[in-house]
Amino acid sequence: MWQWLLIYFCIGAAGTWLARHYAIRQSLIDQPGERRSHDVATPRGGGIAIVIAALVAACALGLRRPMDAPLLAAFAVGLVLVAGVGWLDDHRPLSPWWRLLVHAVAAALLAFAVADVYQSPWLGLVAFVAAMTLTNVWNFMDGINGLAGSQAAIAAAGLAAIAGGTWGLLGLAIAAACAGFLPFNFPRARIFLGDVGSGAIGFCLAALAVVASARLGARFWVVLLPLAVFLVDAGLTLLRRLLRGERWWTPHTQHAYQVWARRVGHVRVTLACAAVSAVALAAAFWLASQADVAFITGITLAWYTCCAFLWVGLQKAGTSRVPTQN
């Protein structure tokens, strides 16, 4: 197990180092601006290392465990599509609608494979919705140092423990690769995930969440707990922008974590969000051992309600802008 984790940690770290040098040579640089949360020009595209780690792990597991190969193959192809369109967008901005179309194709591939493997069209539909949602949520929420990578590491490790087996090992590989990326992104960002990384991570977490849900059955609600920080912030911010008639697909700095970061800095926000997700993960492990589905559902809804109130409080408190250094 330690060797498995070390391999993917090293892929994540070495791949990020190489990606940074490539980004500098190719001038793949995110410049500061009004719609950015950073104030230092920073290379992007480091998430390609996490993508490579996930693909290597999926191929290794598929070869070693042929019975899991069909679903792993669909996952790998979908991941290549999501990461590929993100990689192109990092080099030359694409229309958001083209990106969304590619995400839909990748999500459909995963959904058909899930429906076939588990003999459940409903679970396939859940896989499609989860992939479309998390792929874009992780892209929306990748805005301050260390946040998307740390949340992905926590969620992947937790979902891996719940899913177990082949997908548990895949989840641990993804978590280890995220850990390898983080020293380059936190506390000071020397490279960003880029669209190649943020969207791909969301797709990976969606696949892990679906497999974990299939294992839990009626207790599937618990997989939502370690994802709550991102789902609530992204969901409520998107809803507010839609109600205001804003161009919701354009970059902005209206998320609660961005508002909060302007007041206290990136490091505190990232660490606080990690602590919240760690508590949620501990609660998920405990609830997964319970038999009362109504109790599990109630606790999950209560947690999301608390996160929603926290979102409102942070938005109200963020009326004054305090410049911070990345």
Read off the pLDDT of each residue in 299-306 and give the average, rounded to a whole number: 96
Read off the pLDDT of each residue in 225-233 and give the average, rounded to a whole number: 96
Q: Are 159 and 203 in contact (CB under 8 A)?
A: no
pLDDT band at 77 (very low <50, low <70, confident <90, very high): very high
Percent of the chain with pLDDT over 90: 84
pLDDT band at 33 (very low <50, low <70, confident <90, very high): low
Confidence (pLDDT) at 326:
43
Closest CA to 204 of 99, 96, 45, 47: 47
Q: Are 111 and 128 in contact (CB under 8 A)?
A: yes
> Which residues pair with residue 30 across a beta bridge?
42
Provide the mean pLDDT of the chain.
93
Confidence (pLDDT) at 32:
78
- Give the integer Cα–Cα distance in Å for 62 and 290: 32
pLDDT band at 208 (very low <50, low <70, confident <90, very high): very high
Residue 70's φ and ψ, nearest 5 degrees, are -60, -45
Q: Are 19 and 186 in contact (CB under 8 A)?
A: no
Residue 31's φ and ψ, nearest 5 degrees, are -90, 145
Closest CA to 300 of 201, 231, 215, 214: 231
Q: Are 164 and 122 in contact (CB under 8 A)?
A: no
pLDDT in tens, 156-184: 999 999 999 999 999 999 999 999 999 99
pLDDT of 294 higher than 50: yes
pLDDT band at 34 (very low <50, low <70, confident <90, very high): low
Between these two residues, 38 and 58, which has the higher pLDDT value? 58
- Give the integer Cα–Cα distance in Å for 182 and 51: 14
- Give the integer Cα–Cα distance in Å for 288 and 162: 8
- Give the integer Cα–Cα distance in Å for 249 and 234: 12
- Give the integer Cα–Cα distance in Å for 191 and 41: 10
Q: Are 36 and 262 in contact (CB under 8 A)?
A: no
Q: Are 161 and 125 in contact (CB under 8 A)?
A: no
Query: Which own/partner contact pairs does 98-102 have at CB distance under 8 Å and 24+ positions apart?
Result: 99/195, 99/199, 100/136
Confidence (pLDDT) at 323:
46
Confidence (pLDDT) at 248:
79
Confidence (pLDDT) at 322:
46
Confidence (pLDDT) at 30:
84
Bond into 187 cis (ω within 30)? yes
Query: Which own/partner contact pairs does 93-98 have at CB distance under 8 Å and 24+ positions apart?
Result: 96/249
pLDDT of 324 higher than 50: no
Query: What pTM did the predictor assign?
Result: 0.94
pLDDT of 276 higher than 90: yes
Between these two residues, 106 and 36, which has the higher pLDDT value? 106
